[in-house]
Amino acid sequence: GRFWHKMAKLKETLVMVEQLDKNMSNLRSWLSRVEAELSRPITYSVCHQREIQRRLAEQQGRGDVDSLVQIPQRVLLL
């Protein structure tokens, strides 16, 4: 009756907590990779508008938060 129902709910909760822990671990790994990538400077072999636009599109295509970094217009007009 009631005891078995509570046991089933407890087991279900435990499975959910384990899945949450695994998801959090995956998120920590992903964040570490993103932080490492963002800490590396962007280097350009050529510096012209098309190359800069290509790099920006590449970053936005990855789903990165583009609003965190604003490149001043004067830099784009080198």
Domain ranges of the chain: 1-40, 43-78
Residue 1 has pLDDT above 50, yes or no: yes
**Two tokens at 76?**
């784009």
**Two tokens at 48?**
């012209």
Q: Are 55 and 42 in contact (CB under 8 A)?
A: yes
For the chain, the average pLDDT equals 78
pTM: 0.48
> What share of the chain in percent tops pLDDT 70?
74
Report, as an integer, the average pLDDT of 27-51.
84
Measured CA to CA, the distance from residue 73 to residue 48 in angstroms comes to 13
Confidence of residue 49 (pLDDT cuts 50, 70, 90): confident
Please give the pLDDT value at position 7.
94
